[in-house]
Structure 1
Amino acid sequence: MEGSKRSHEQDAESASILSAKGHLQDVYTKHVQSSYTGAMKLIFSPTIRAKLAHKTPPVSEQQVRECFANREGKFLIDTRESNLTNPLTRWFIAETDFGVTLKVVFIPTEAGIVIKSAYAPNAEEIRIYHKYGHQGPI
């Protein structure tokens, strides 16, 4: 247990150092550090890959990984009735390594983090995240 805890701490520290802006773009190729599950695999379905590629501007899987690595606030839960899922859909706003701001929407599962969407947030989403995403523990 002690060695496992140390390994997670070392992984988090290494990821933090490597994900600094302007450095190594491929920090998290398959895993992200999550505040509630530890390292988890990001899952992009073929439909979501196509959806992200057709966004204006397009969003890459790498940009989503960078947002997870660079996240400073906590995950918020989408409580709108039309978006309710089991488990609940979560979202956050963060920047990529090159300063592109994205809203990332996902569902945590036992298999990994299922990405539902990622796009440039609107002013209201930014307002909500600044108000509620930076309160309390991450």
Structure 2
Amino acid sequence: MGFNFSSHVITKLQDDHDVTQKEVMECFANGEAIYFLDPNEDHQTDPPTFWFMAPTNRNRMLKVCFIRRGDDVDIKTAFEPTSDKHLDTYRQQAGLPSCWPNEE
């Protein structure tokens, strides 16, 4: 799997969210590979946008939004959720235990 970061996305990650490309890739490695379609009409793309949440290697929880293009992944954005409610929603939708990602 290849990860593609446009120059615009790199700038947005750094300037708006203080997220590195390395942290995004860590989330893919540390996540559960449970991805959801982004239902927001403003975020609709072709091919579709997916999202998930996962911790970095330093246990920083990020929401990652991306587009699949064959075996490659185009990163759209990644950021810390604004409240614990977002993580709780992801856990519920993904069928993960309430202790995830700390213990399983």
**2:89 alignment partner in structure 1:** 128
Greater relative contact order (CA < 8 Å, ≥ 6 in sequence): 2
Kindly report which structure 2 residues correspond to 1:71-86, keeping only aligned pairs within 5 A, or say none. 71-72=31-32, 74-86=34-46
**In 1, distance between residues paired with 2:10 and 2:71?**
18
**In 2, distance between residues paired with 1:73 and 1:110?**
16
Structure 1 ranges of 4+ moved more than 4 A: none
* Unmatched runs of 5 consecutive residues or more in structure 1: 1-39
Larger Rg: 1 or 2?
A: 1
Identical-residue share of aligned pairs (%): 34
From 93, 101, 116, give the equivalent of 2:53: 93
**In 1, distance between residues paired with 2:95 and 2:6?**
30
Q: Secondary structure at the match of 1:97?
A: coil
Kindly report which structure 2 residues correspond to 1:102-117, keeping only aligned pairs within 5 A, or say none. 102-110=62-70, 112-117=72-77
Q: CA deviation at 1:122?
A: 2.3
**1:35 alignment partner in structure 2:** none
**In 2, distance between residues paired with 1:109 and 1:44?**
13
Q: Residue 24 of structure 2 aligns to which amino acid in structure 1? A: V
Q: Residue 36 of structure 2 aligns to which amino acid in structure 1? A: L
Supply the RMSD in Å over aligned alpha carbons.
1.6
Q: Residue 5 of structure 2 aligns to which amino acid in structure 1? A: F
Q: CA deviation at 1:73?
A: 5.3
8 Å CA contact retained: 1:103, 1:120: yes
Which TM-score applies when normalising by structure 2? 0.83
Q: CA deviation at 1:111?
A: 6.3
**2:29 alignment partner in structure 1:** 69
8 Å CA contact retained: 1:67, 1:96: yes
8 Å CA contact retained: 1:52, 1:118: yes
Q: CA deviation at 1:110?
A: 2.6
Q: CA deviation at 1:133?
A: 1.9
Q: Secondary structure at the match of 1:54?
A: helix
